[in-house]
């Protein structure tokens, strides 16, 4: 009796699900009513729509980048490097799309932007928690970011977890140790809430891999996937800096940031320093 009841319930639920699938439209699946009604201009200026949509698109791409990097971290921790390669390659491709986005935004002239800039108040791209989350999963940890979101418990919790967890490079280094490379214990047991700083034992491990590509083919592929991501990230940072400079020069950002000055400073930061240093030493 119980089994029959459960079976009838399953059939009923299955029928409801099937009916929904059959009636579901493209707009329903993508929730386009919500998505396309989110572009709300605060001014009457034509070009504010461009400004909003570029940032909406960027946030969607950032969401996918986070999804892929976190998936790659899990795959690497499980020893499934091949699965991580697909995810990391996708991240690089997404980054290329984001780089092109700056070309679209740069069609906004300084005079046009000033027509609606005052409507933005203190809102600034520097407040994008997803961008900060990308930095965290790549290993660049900045404690002041957490303080910004203390009044938003949900976002603060997401950032704090990533802040305290090993980043993409940390799990790559753990993989090196796992196959026998003598990585310093201070690196393997380090405080993951601190930004990674380069280490001689990690550099030597990557150097050995690059000099013996056939023997360490998978690890070599992993290294090159990391380099691809950083290479694209730096291009994105550079295009960001030049686009801001083109539109507002060296004015302070709307959120009070130093604008171009800050963007120039972060160009010198490297997520995976040894992978760049060994190119000089090979």
Asked whether residue 26 is assigned to any structural domain, the reply reads no
In this structure, is residue 157 part of a structural domain?
yes
Phi-psi region of 31 (alpha: psi -120 to 50; beta: other; left: phi over 0): left
pLDDT in 10s for each residue of the chain, 282 residues: 445 555 554 445 555 566 667 789 999 999 999 999 999 999 999 999 999 999 999 999 999 999 999 999 999 999 999 999 999 999 999 999 999 999 999 999 999 999 999 998 888 877 899 999 999 999 999 888 898 899 999 999 999 999 999 999 999 999 999 999 999 999 999 999 999 999 999 999 999 999 999 999 999 999 999 999 999 999 999 999 999 999 989 877 665 566 787 788 888 889 999 999 999 999
Q: Are 116 and 48 in contact (CB under 8 A)?
A: yes
- Residue 128 sits in a domain whose CATH number is 1.20.58.480
- Domain count along the chain: 1
Please check whether residue 34 lies inside any domain of the structure: no
CA 109 to chain centre: 28
Please indicate, yes or no, if residue 101 is contained in any of the structural domains: yes
Q: Does residue 5 belong to any structural domain of this protein?
A: no
Cβ atoms 89, 65 nearer than 8 A: no
Domain that holds residue 63: 46-281
* d(C-alpha 21, C-alpha 23), whole Å: 6
On the 0-12 / 13-18 / 19+ scale of CB atoms within 10 A, 169 is buried
Report if residue 35 sits inside a domain.
no
Any domain includes 29: no
Name the pTM for this structure. Answer: 0.88
């Amino acid at each position: 009796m119980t089994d029959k009841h459960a079976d009838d319930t399953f059939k009923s639920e299955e029928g409801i699900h099937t009916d929904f699938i059959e009636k579901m439209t493209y707009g329903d699946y993508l929730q386009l009513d919500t998505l396309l009604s989110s572009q709300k201009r605060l001014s009457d200026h034509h070009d504010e729509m461009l400004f909003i949509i570029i940032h909406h698109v960027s946030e969607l791409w950032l969401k996918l980048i986070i999804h892929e990097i976190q998936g790659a971290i899990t795959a690497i921790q499980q020893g499934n490097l091949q699965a991580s390669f697909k995810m990391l390659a996708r991240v690089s491709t997404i980054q290329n799309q984001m780089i092109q986005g700056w070309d679209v935004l740069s069609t906004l002239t300084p005079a046009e932007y000033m027509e609606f800039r005052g409507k933005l108040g203190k809102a600034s791209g520097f407040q994008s928690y997803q961008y900060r989350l990308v930095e965290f999963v790549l290993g660049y940890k900045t404690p002041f970011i957490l303080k910004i979101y203390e009044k938003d418990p949900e976002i603060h919790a997401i950032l704090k977890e990533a802040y305290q967890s090993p980043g993409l490079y940390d799990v790559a280094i753990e993989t090196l140790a796992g196959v026998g490379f003598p990585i310093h214990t201070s690196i393997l047991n380090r405080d993951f809430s601190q930004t990674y700083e380069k280490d001689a034992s990690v550099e030597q491990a990557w150097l050995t891999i690059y000099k013996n590509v056939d023997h360490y083919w998978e690890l070599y592929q992993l290294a090159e996937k990391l380099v691809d991501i950083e290479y694209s990230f730096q291009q994105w940072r550079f295009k960001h800096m030049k686009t801001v400079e083109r539109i507002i020069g060296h004015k302070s950002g709307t959120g009070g940031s130093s604008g171009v000055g800050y963007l120039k400073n972060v160009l010198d930061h490297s997520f995976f320093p040894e992978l760049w240093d060994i190119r000089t030493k090979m």
